[in-house]
Amino acid sequence: MDNAVKKFCQNDQQYRLTNREKELLMERKRLFHERHSQRVRLIKTRFFIITSVSKRICS
């Protein structure tokens, strides 16, 4: 009985730990996506500026 309870408690702690890890992982993913979208926006604006400038120079 005591052993079974101990085992259950250990499993419960492990489960909680994995839940916390999941939260951290989700947070990391969210941050990565935010950074990635910012980077994409930056690249797009840079590309737009470069193309508009080069069009002006060429014409």
pLDDT tens sequence across 8-33: 777 777 777 688 888 898 999 999 99
At 1 the pLDDT is 61
Residue 43 Cα distances to 29, 30, 36, 46, 51, angstroms = 21, 20, 11, 5, 12
At 9 the pLDDT is 74
Residue 38 Cα distances to 23, 31, 42, angstroms = 23, 11, 6
Q: Which alpha helices (DSSP H) does 1-59 contain, by range?
A: 2-58
At 26 the pLDDT is 92
| Residue 31 CB neighbours (<10 A) | 10
- In angstroms, the CA 39 to CA 26 distance is 20
pTM over 0.85: no
Total number of domains in the chain: 1
